[in-house]
Structure 1
Amino acid sequence: MSVIQKQCRSQTDRVIQKMRDHTTKVLPVLPVLLAGLLPLSAYAAGAQFNVMDASIGDIHKAMRAGSLTCRGLVQQYLDRIGAYNEQGPALNAILYLNPKALEQADAMDKQFKQTGEMAPLHCIPAVLKDNYNTADMPTTGGSASLAGAQPAKDAFALSRLRKDGVLVLGKANMQEFALGGVSISSLGGQVKNPYDLLLTPGGSSGGTAVALAANFATVGTGSDTVNSIRSPASANSLVGIRPTHGLVSRDGILPVSFTMDDAGPLARSVADAAVMLDSMAGYDPADPLTALGVGKTPKTYTASLNKTALKGVRIGVLQTMFGTKPENQEVNRVMANAIEVLKKQGAVIVPVSAPEMDSDKLNAELDVQKYEYKGVINTYLKALGTATPAHSLDDIIASGKPHQSLNKFLLSAQSYQNGLADPDYKDRMVKIDALKISLANLMAENHLDAMVYPHQKRLPVPIGEFSQPDRNGILTALTGFPSIAVPAGFSTPTADAPMGVPVGMELIGRPWSESQLIGYAYSFEQAAKARKLPASTPSLALR
C-alpha cells in the first residue's frame, strides 16, 4: 500500500468514526466521502456487486449468495453521494446522512450471519423526504426556520419500514415545507435534475427522487399534497405511488392539508414500490383516517406483479389531461407511444373527456391548502415542543428565513383567523364531494378499470423558475383515489439532456384498487422498459 493510499485510508476511517460518534447532530453530506478516499477494505465481501439500479430482489439475492454485505452495500451508496451530491454534477439531493449507517449495517450483517433470516426490507438503504419525523436525525422540511428541529420519535410509516428492515441512509432535500414543485429550499438550496442539470426535478419530493435516479439509495419515501410524489417520479424516470386516502398514515409527517395530504413510496421499479407499500400501509390510531383501510389491503401487493395484467383491461385515456400548446407536444408524443404499448399488452383503450376535471380549473376552484395550512402546521409544531426553533406559522414567517417563493402562500395562509369557517372553504369542500362522485361515475359509465394521462403536460421547468405548471395531480389529491406514476419514455435528446428528459404516465383507479394499478403498471413497465440511467452520475469503479 502506497503512502498516499495509507493517508487516504486513514483520513476516511476518521470520517467514518466521526459519523458513528455523532448520533443526533445535524450532519451535512461530507465531500470527503469520495470514491478515491474509500478504505480499501470497503468491499471485502462484495467487490463485484454494482448498485446501479439494483433492486431489493437483486440485493437480497447477492447477500444470500455471500457476494454482498450490508456494509459493502451502504458504503457503495455513500461513495456515490460523496462523488455526486456536492461534487461533480452537484445534484444537491441529500440534506443529512445517518451518522450510524455503517454501524447499523454491521449489526444487520451480524444478525443475518447468525440467523440466516431476512425481513422484507433487510438492509435496504432508503432516503427519506425531510418532512418524515426521524428520532435519530433532524426533521426540518428543508427550512432554515426549523434548523435543528429534532422529533422524539419516528413517523408511523417510517416505524413500519424500520420494523421490516429498512436502513435509513439519510434525509433528502425537498421543496421547502412541501409547498411547490421545483424542489428548492432555504436550508438545502436547489435540487438539480440529473437528466438535465439546467432543469428542476419536479417536487416537492424532488430530493428523494433525484437520490434514487442517481443511485444514492435503493428506495425512498415521499409525501403528496397535490403532485409531490408523482411529479418527481415523472421527472426522474421513477415509480411513485399516491395511495388511496387512508391507506398510509400521515402521523409524524410535516403537514400541509389534512384534506389533501398523503404519503407513499418512490422507487426505480414497480416491484420495489410494491414491497415498500406492503410495509407502509396499515392502521394507525394517531391518524384515524387509516381506519378506512382496515380490511382493504391484500396479504402482499407483490402478488399483483403480473406481466399479463393488462390483457382485456379497459383503460380510459383522459383527454382532458393532455395539453394542446407547443410546449406540450414532446410529452404528448411520448404518451402516444406509451398508449400503443398498453394496446400491445392487450388493454382496450377508451378515449374519454371530462371538461369539469381540467387540472387548471380544479386547482383554481377546489384546492383547500391555504385554508387548512395554519391549523395543521401550528398543531405539528406545538407537538414538537422545545425541540424546534419555531412554534407556529407566525414564528416561521417572522424568522424571515423561508425561501422567497413561499412568501405569497405563507402570508395568505396566515391571514385566515379560522380558514375552516370561511364560506369559500365550505363551498370547496362540497364541490370536492361532488368531484369524487363525478370521477367514480365517469369510470362506471365507461366500464373502465383505470384511466391514464401524463402526470405533467410539459417537461420540467428550468432552474430559476419557482413554479411547475401543467401538472395533473390535483384530481387524485382532491378525490383520494389512488394513482401510480410509471416511466413512459423520454423527450427528444438535446445537448443539455443527451438522452432526453423523462416523461411519466399516471394510472388512476377506484379507491382501494392499488393491487390492480400495480399489476397494470408492472405489465406496462416490463413491456416498455422505459427507465434509463442519467448520464451525469455514471457507475464508479469497483474494487
Structure 2
Amino acid sequence: MNSAFESKTNGTGSQAPFDLMEATVATAHAAMRDGRLTARQLVRGYLDRISAYDQSGPRINSILRLNPEALAEADRMDAQAAGKPAQALAPLHGIPVLIKDNIECGGIETTAGSLCLRGNMAAQDAFIVQRLRRAGAIVLAKTNLHELASGGETVSTELGQTLNPYDLTRTPGGSSGGTGAGIAANFGLLGIGTDGVNSIRSPASANNLVGLRPTMGLVSRTGLVPCGLTQDTIGPITRSVADTAVLLDAIAGHDPADPISSQGASHIPASYTVFLDPDGLKGARIGVLRHFFGDGPEHRPVNAVMQQALAVMETQGAELVAVDDAISPEELLASTLVHHYEMEHDLDAYLARLAPDVKVRSMKDIIASGQVHASVAGTLTTAAALAGKDAQYRERLQRQQALRRRLLDLMDAQRIDVLAFPHQRRLVAPIGEPQAERNGVLASATGFPAIVIPAGFSAAQRNAPQGVPVGLEFFGRPFSEPVLIRLAYAAEQALRARRAPHAAPALE
C-alpha cells in the first residue's frame, strides 16, 4: 500500500488505510470525514500512479500535461476543511479530475493534442470547469485525445498513441481515450470527455467504464475546442454510475454564453443521485436493437458478452423487447452527421479569439502547417471541401429531425423506456487500425442522451489476460438522464463487470 495512505488513529484505535484503487467520491469523502485521508494525500497518490504507469512501466501515455498547482490546490482544500463539521464537505471536495485537453482550464495549455495549438494558454476556465471548481474538485491533469477530437484511436502529434490498459496492443477508443485509459488505470477519480459522434462512449466501452453523453443543452460547451457544435457535447467518464451521477450534478446547468444550454435548465433535478436505485430494472421495458449487433465471426466475442448481460437484466425484472426495425448504423453515419460541414466555421471562430502566441488562426492554417497527425489531415481536408455546401448541410439537418421523430415514435409505440445495444459490434481496434462498427450515431445524430456501462469481457487473450472490455449502451428520450441513470445503476449492480486493469495494479 502506498505510504500516503497509512492508517491514522482517531483516539479510539487504528483505522484501516484508505485504498486508492477503484476509489469513488463516496469512499474518498468517507475517509476524509473520519481522518484517514486528506486532499493532498489523494492527489499525491494519483500522481504517484501516473509516474509509475503512465510515464514508466507499461507507458499507457494518457496524461498530456499535469496541473502544476494540483498539490497547492489540495493544500488549500485541506485548510478550508480544517475545523469544519465533517458533513460540510462540498460535493466534490478535494476530488482529482482528469480533463480532456480540448476543454480550457485557466493557466494550463489547451492544445487538443495538436502541435499547431502550442501556446494556447487559457485565460479562464471553461464553464464546466468553473462549476467543477465551485463544487470543490481539483483539476489534476489534461488528457490525451485523438488530435482535435477527430478520430477514434487517441493518437496525437503532441503525445503520440495512448494504450489500452487492458490490452496494451489495442487502442483505448476515442477520441476521449486519454481520459478513458486514465480513469480505468486509476490515475484520477473522475473524468471529463467530449462526444461529437462516439467520443465519450467509445473509451468507456473500451476501458470498462461508465460514459454518459448528455442530452444536447444539458451541459455547456463554452471553452471547448469544437468539431461541430450541432453534435459536440461534454460529459462524464467514471468507474461507476454513482460517480457519473455526482459528476453530472456538478456540470449540468445553464450558461448564458452557450444559449442552447437554456433548453436543459428546467430538466435538471435537485440531484441525479436520487435515481440510483438497485431495483431500477424491475418493470423496465428495454428495446434491443437487433440491427446494432453483428452476425459475423468477428462479432462473436461482443455478442456473447451482450447476450449474458441482457439475460442478467431479465433476471432483475427487465422486459426485453426485440426491435427489428431496419435502423442501419452505417446508413445513419453516411447520411445524418453534420460535424464535417460545420467544422471549418466553428473551429475558425474558436481559433480567431486565441492569444497571439498561437500561430494558426484558421482550419486552413492548420492544414497548411502540415503538422497534424496523418489520421486527422484527411478529415480536415474533407471538412474544408464540405464547408459552404449549404443544401447538403440542410438536408442532413432535416434527416436528423426525421430520425428524432422516428425514434420517439418507435419507443412510444412499443412503450420502450430505453433502447439497448453494444456500443461497438466488435472488440476495440488494435493499434494501427481504425475503429470499426461503433454504434454511437443514434445519440450524436439526434442530440438525445446515451450511457455506456461495463457489460463484461471477452475471453482471455494472449495480450489481454482479463479479456477485452465490452460496453453496453442505453439510449433514451431527450432529458431522460434520470431514467438512464436508474437503469444503468441497477444493471451495473447486477452485472458487477467493472475490473481494474492488469497493467496498472496497486502500488506497493
- Report what 2:466 is aligned to: 499
Question: Quick one: structure 1 residues 441 and 194, their matched pair in 2 at CA, closer, same or farther if it must change by over 3 Å?
Answer: same
Matches within 5 A, 1:415-494: 415-416=385-386, 418-419=388-389, 421=390, 423-465=391-433, 467-494=434-461
Q: Measure, in 1, the Cα distance between the counterparts of 2:440 and 2:387.
A: 29
Matched residue type, 2:21: M
Q: Measure, in 2, the Cα distance between the counterparts of 1:416 and 1:264.
A: 28
Q: Does 1:151 align with 2:151?
A: no
Matched residue type, 2:476: G
Q: Measure, in 2, the Cα distance between the counterparts of 1:100 and 1:153.
A: 15
Q: Measure, in 2, the Cα distance between the counterparts of 1:162 and 1:261.
A: 22
TM-score normalized with structure 1 length: 0.90
Matches within 5 A, 1:313-328: 313-328=284-299
Q: Does 1:76 align with 2:76?
A: no
> Contact 2:109/2:120 (CA < 8 Å) preserved in 1?
yes
Q: Does 1:229 align with 2:200?
A: yes
| 1:449-497 residue CA offsets vs partner (Å, 9 max, x unmatched) | 11100001111111112x2010000111011111100000000101110
Query: How many angstroms does 1:426 deviate by?
Result: 1.4
Question: Quick one: structure 1 residues 185 and 112, their matched pair in 2 at CA, closer, same or farther if it must change by over 3 Å?
Answer: same
Structure 1: which 5+ residue stretches go unaligned?
A: 1-34
174, 183, 186: which one aligns with 2:154? 183
SS at match of 1:127: strand
Q: Does 1:115 align with 2:84?
A: yes
SS at match of 1:386: coil
- RMSD, matched Cα: 1.5
Q: Measure, in 2, the Cα distance between the counterparts of 1:223 and 1:382.
A: 22
Matched residue type, 1:294: A
378, 383, 393: which one aligns with 1:413? 383
Q: Does 1:510 align with 2:477?
A: yes
Aligned residue pairs, count: 500
Q: Does 1:243 align with 2:210?
A: no
Matched residue type, 1:100: E
Matched residue type, 1:162: R
- Report what 1:50 is aligned to: 19
Structure 2: which 5+ residue stretches go unaligned?
A: 9-14
Matched residue type, 1:234: S
- Report what 1:199 is aligned to: 170
Query: How many angstroms does 1:416 deviate by?
Result: 4.2
Query: How many angstroms does 1:261 deviate by?
Result: 0.8
> Contact 1:385/1:391 (CA < 8 Å) preserved in 2?
no
Q: Does 1:527 align with 2:494?
A: yes
Question: Quick one: structure 1 residues 84 and 47, their matched pair in 2 at CA, closer, same or farther if it must change by over 3 Å?
Answer: farther
- Report what 1:275 is aligned to: 246
SS at match of 2:354: helix
Q: Measure, in 2, the Cα distance between the counterparts of 1:361 and 1:43.
A: 56
Query: How many angstroms does 1:538 deviate by?
Result: 0.6
Q: Measure, in 2, the Cα distance between the counterparts of 1:293 and 1:49.
A: 38
Q: Measure, in 2, the Cα distance between the counterparts of 1:190 and 1:136.
A: 25
Query: How many angstroms does 1:152 deviate by?
Result: 1.0
Q: Measure, in 1, the Cα distance between the counterparts of 2:158 and 2:412.
A: 46
Matched residue type, 2:63: I
> Contact 1:151/1:387 (CA < 8 Å) preserved in 2?
no
- Report what 1:136 is aligned to: 107
- Report what 1:365 is aligned to: 335
| 1:407-447 residue CA offsets vs partner (Å, 9 max, x unmatched) | 2111121234524x2x2111111111101000101101111
Query: How many angstroms does 1:67 deviate by?
Result: 0.6
Query: How many angstroms does 1:42 deviate by?
Result: 8.3
Q: Measure, in 1, the Cα distance between the counterparts of 2:491 and 2:385.
A: 46
Q: Could you tell me the percent identity over the aligned residues?
A: 48
Query: How many angstroms does 1:512 deviate by?
Result: 0.9
249, 272, 279: which one aligns with 1:301? 272
> Contact 1:43/1:72 (CA < 8 Å) preserved in 2?
no
> Contact 1:321/1:472 (CA < 8 Å) preserved in 2?
yes
SS at match of 1:384: coil
Matches within 5 A, 1:253-402: 253-355=224-326, 357-402=327-372
SS at match of 1:102: helix
> Contact 1:146/1:389 (CA < 8 Å) preserved in 2?
yes
SS at match of 1:126: strand
> Contact 1:196/1:501 (CA < 8 Å) preserved in 2?
yes
Matched residue type, 1:458: R
SS at match of 1:383: coil
| 1:345-370 residue CA offsets vs partner (Å, 9 max, x unmatched) | 10011000221x31111111111121
Query: How many angstroms does 1:108 deviate by?
Result: 0.7
Q: Measure, in 2, the Cα distance between the counterparts of 1:311 and 1:507.
A: 16
SS at match of 1:115: coil
Q: Measure, in 2, the Cα distance between the counterparts of 1:136 and 1:283.
A: 24
TM-score normalized with structure 2 length: 0.96
